[in-house]
């Protein structure tokens, strides 16, 4: 198990020690843990104020705290600008990604026309189609299916049983969680007078660099033209992204969001879980949507919305509170 001195940790996170014993800097730290569970060889962090009470009883060797936080009396503290970011850095230090080593399981089916960098890993029962290219340092999990002519960049990680359909493109450092489907057909039919005639979905899915796609999330290929997920976007589990959607850089969505076809979402947006968006909308940069919001109209940049249909979130909370008074409103009006 990796150990790092508290001194080195403090340097790594760019913090300053406060309230620690004089020899604390030489302490060997073995990992990161929560305030409640950390032991004397682990470091912890206070990022969510609701856990501040636990500071008094934590057994952690040291605690990452914000610069404006008072000194905890009973534990050595490392003051940092952003304790959550510092936690993330330490968690990455103690749990580094595996490095690709060029391992190819005998049961993997790799088409002879596929071009894989020498160090690409391919686990058991994965299937890699014709003319696929996979860049340095990427790893393909067990049972993944990669269709024909797919392009996958460097240092990507495809967890077990993710699917990338024909012709789709993944940039560098793209992560797919298990069961993710990239490139399913969009939901397109024309009524023929007798039946719903399927419209071939001839576009692709493009996942730019640093994108992560959650477990069992589906990204439909474009009908004509592509579905595009821009750089740094993070999508949680069980999200549905329909054909020809574009999601702007660094936008994050919690699980079970549904985005209908051809909707364009700006950069740096944040959507809560179970949000739904109608099709052909334009959602501005930096829009925030509370969980379960239903969006049927374009939204200007920077707003925060809630409710279904969506309204400004302050209004939503006011309306929600008044809903509880509807019986009173009704009664008062009747009594006049």
- Alpha carbon 72 to its chain's center: 33
Reference 100, options 78, 123, 83; nearest CA is 123
Looking only at residues 124 through 153 of this chain, which bind a copy of itself when binding is defined by CB under 8 A? 124-125, 127, 129, 141-143, 145, 147
How are beta strands 31-32 and 62-66 bridged, if at all? unpaired
Q: From the CB of residue 198, how many other CB atoms can be counted at a distance below 10 Å? A: 11
Task: Write down the least CB distance from residue 23 to a copy of itself, Å.
Answer: 27
Q: From the CB of residue 119, how many other CB atoms can be counted at a distance below 10 Å? A: 15
59 part of the interface to a copy of itself, by CB under 8 A: no
- The active-site residue, picked from 7, 243, 280, 313, is 243
2 part of the interface to a copy of itself, by CB under 8 A: no
264 part of the interface to a copy of itself, by CB under 8 A: no
Rounded to 10 degrees, the C-alpha dihedral 310/280/286/14 comes to 120
Task: Write down the least CB distance from residue 16 to a copy of itself, Å.
Answer: 19
255 part of the interface to a copy of itself, by CB under 8 A: yes
Looking only at residues 179 through 218 of this chain, which bind a copy of itself when binding is defined by CB under 8 A? 179, 181, 184-185, 187-192, 195-200, 202, 210, 212, 214-216, 218
State the burial class of residue 92 (Cβ atoms within 10 Å of its Cβ: 0-12, 13-18, 19+).
Answer: exposed
Residue 91 or 101 having the CB closest to a copy of itself: 91
Residue 316 sits at φ, ψ, to 5 deg, of -60, -45
Of the candidate residues 292, 301, 303, 304, the single one contacting a copy of itself (CB under 8 A): 292
Structure tokens, 184? 């399913």
46 part of the interface to a copy of itself, by CB under 8 A: no
Task: Write down the least CB distance from residue 36 to a copy of itself, Å.
Answer: 9
123 part of the interface to a copy of itself, by CB under 8 A: yes
Residues 6+ apart with CB under 8 A from 181: 162, 163, 165, 216, 217, 218, 219
Task: Write down the least CB distance from residue 43 to a copy of itself, Å.
Answer: 11
DSSP string, 197-266: EE------EEE-TT-EE-TT-EEEPPSSS-EEE-TT-EE-TT-EE-TT-EE-TT-EE-TT-EE-TT-EE-
For residues 262 and 280, is the Cβ–Cβ distance under 8 A? Answer: yes
For residues 227 and 241, is the Cβ–Cβ distance under 8 A? Answer: yes
Task: Write down the least CB distance from residue 72 to a copy of itself, Å.
Answer: 20
Decide if 243 is catalytic: yes
For residues 187 and 242, is the Cβ–Cβ distance under 8 A? Answer: yes
Of the candidate residues 4, 24, 54, 294, the single one contacting a copy of itself (CB under 8 A): 294
332 part of the interface to a copy of itself, by CB under 8 A: yes
Looking only at residues 6 through 25 of this chain, which bind a copy of itself when binding is defined by CB under 8 A? none
32 part of the interface to a copy of itself, by CB under 8 A: yes
Count of residues engaged in binding a copy of itself, rule: CB under 8 A:
106
Contacts made by residues 259-268, CB under 8 angstroms, sequence distance 24+: 261/186, 261/187, 261/188, 261/220, 261/223, 266/301, 267/230
Task: Write down the least CB distance from residue 26 to a copy of itself, Å.
Answer: 24
Residue 71 or 297 having the CB closest to a copy of itself: 297
Structure tokens, 299? 């939204």
- Alpha carbon 302 to its chain's center: 20
Looking only at residues 301 through 330 of this chain, which bind a copy of itself when binding is defined by CB under 8 A? 308-309, 311, 315, 318-320, 322-327, 329-330
* Interface map 64-103 toward a copy of itself (x if CB under 8 A): ------------------x-xx-xxx-xx-xxxx------
The interface region with a copy of itself, picked from 12-20, 26-34, 55-63, 67-75 by CB under 8 A, is: 26-34
Active site residues: 243
């Amino acid at each position: 198990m990796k150990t790092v001195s508290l001194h080195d940790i403090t340097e790594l996170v760019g913090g300053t020690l406060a309230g620690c014993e004089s020899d604390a800097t030489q302490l060997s730290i073995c990992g990161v843990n929560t305030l409640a569970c950390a032991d004397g060889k682990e470091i912890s962090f206070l990022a969510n104020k609701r856990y501040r009470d636990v500071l008094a009883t934590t057994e952690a060797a040291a605690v990452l705290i914000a610069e404006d936080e008072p000194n905890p009396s009973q534990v050595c503290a490392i003051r940092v600008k952003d304790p959550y970011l510092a936690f993330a850095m330490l968690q990455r230090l103690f749990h580094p990604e595996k490095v690709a080593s060029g391992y190819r399981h005998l049961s993997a089916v790799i088409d002879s026309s596929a071009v894989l960098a020498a160090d690409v890993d391919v686990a058991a029962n994965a299937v890699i189609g014709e003319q696929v290219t996979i860049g340095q340092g990427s790893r393909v999990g067990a049972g993944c299916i990669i269709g024909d002519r797919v392009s996958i960049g460097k240092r990507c990680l495809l967890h077990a049983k993710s699917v990338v359909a024909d012709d789709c493109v993944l940039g560098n450092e793209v992560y797919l969680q298990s069961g993710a489907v990239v490139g399913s057909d969009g939901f397109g039919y024309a009524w023929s007078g007798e039946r719903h005639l399927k419209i071939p979905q001839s576009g692709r899915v493009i996942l730019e660099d640093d994108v992560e796609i959650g477990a069992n999330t589906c990204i439909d290929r474009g009908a004509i033209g592509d579905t595009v997920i821009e750089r740094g976007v993070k999508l949680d589990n069980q999200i549905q992204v329909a054909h020809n959607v574009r999601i702007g850089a660094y936008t994050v969505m919690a699980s079970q969001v549904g985005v209908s076809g051809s909707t364009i979402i700006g950069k740096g947006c944040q959507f809560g879980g179970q949000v739904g968006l109608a099709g052909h909308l334009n959602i501005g940069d930096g829009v925030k949507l509370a969980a379960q919001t239903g969006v049927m109209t374009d939204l200007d940049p920077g707003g925060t919305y809630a409710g279904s249909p969506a309204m400004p979130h302050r209004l939503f909370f006011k309306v929600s509170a008044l809903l509880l008074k509807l019986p009173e409103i009704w009664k008062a009006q009747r009594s006049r």
